[in-house]
Amino acid sequence: MKAVLLALDQGSSSSRAVAWSAGGRVLARAQAKVASRYPRAGWVEHDALELARSQERTLDAVLARLPKGAPVAALGATSQRSTVVLWDARTGKPVAPAPSWQDGRAAEVAGALQDRQAWAHERTGLYLTPYYSAPKIRWLLDHVPAAARAADAGALRIGPVATYVLWRLSGGELFISDPTLAQRTLLFNLRTSDWDLELLKLFGVDRAWLPAIVPSAGELGVLRRGGRDLPVRALLGDQQAAAAGLGAARAGAGVLNYGTGAFFLLHTGAEQHRIAGLLTSVAWRKAGRPCEFFLEGTVHAAGTSFEWLKERLHLLDSVHDLDAAMRRSAHRVLALPAIGGLGAPRWDYRTRTAFVGLSSQSSRDDPRACRSARCAPPAGCRARRGCCSSRPISWAWGSTSRASARRRRWERR
Higher pLDDT, 124 or 341: 124
Q: Which residues contact 393 (CB under 8 A, 6 or more apart)?
A: 252, 253, 254, 266, 385
Domain containing 316 equals: 247-413
How many CB atoms neighbour CB 324 within 10 A? Answer: 12
| 244: number of Cβ within 10 Å | 21
Q: Helix, strand, or coil here: 308?
A: helix
| Chain Cα centroid distance, residue 123 | 20
Does some domain include residue 242? no
Shared domain check, 325 and 197: no
- Beta-sheet pairing, 188-189 with 156-160: unpaired
Per-residue model confidence as pLDDT tens digits over 311-368:
777 777 777 777 777 777 777 778 787 777 787 788 877 778 888 887 887 777 666 5
| 314 and 371 assigned to the same domain | yes
Question: Same domain for 216 and 271?
Answer: no
Residues 134, 186: one domain?
yes
- 284 and 183, same domain (yes or no): no
What average pLDDT does range 60-67 have in this prediction? 95
The predicted structure's pLDDT at residue 102 = 83
Least reliable range by pLDDT among 28-42, 130-144, 195-209: 28-42
Q: pLDDT tier at 407 (50, 70, 90 boundaries)?
A: very low
Total domains, the chain: 2
Instruction: Report which secondary-structure segment, H or E, holds 165.
Output: helix 161-169
Mean pLDDT for the chain overall: 85
Do residue 168 and residue 285 come from a single domain?
no
How far apart CA 205 and CA 283 sit, in angstroms, is: 25
CATH of the domain at 113: 3.30.420.40
Residues 178 and 196 in one domain: yes
pLDDT band for position 369 (50/70/90)? low
Determine the pLDDT at residue 352. 80
Q: How far is it between the farthest Cα atoms of the chain? A: 67
In a domain, 288, yes or no: yes
Rounded mean pLDDT, 387-404:
39
Listed residues 182, 213, 237: the one ending a domain: 237
224 and 255 co-located in one domain: no
Same domain? For 130 and 158 the reply is: yes
What is the mean predicted confidence (pLDDT) over 205-218? 97
Let me know whether 297 and 202 are in one domain: no
**Which of 186, 216, 237 is the last residue before a domain boundary?**
237
* Last-in-domain residue among 207, 237, 267: 237
Please report which helix (H) or strand (E) contains residue 76, including its range.
strand 72-79
Same domain, yes or no: 353 and 381:
yes
Q: Specify if 333 maps to a domain.
A: yes
- Read off the pLDDT band of 207 (50, 70, 90): very high
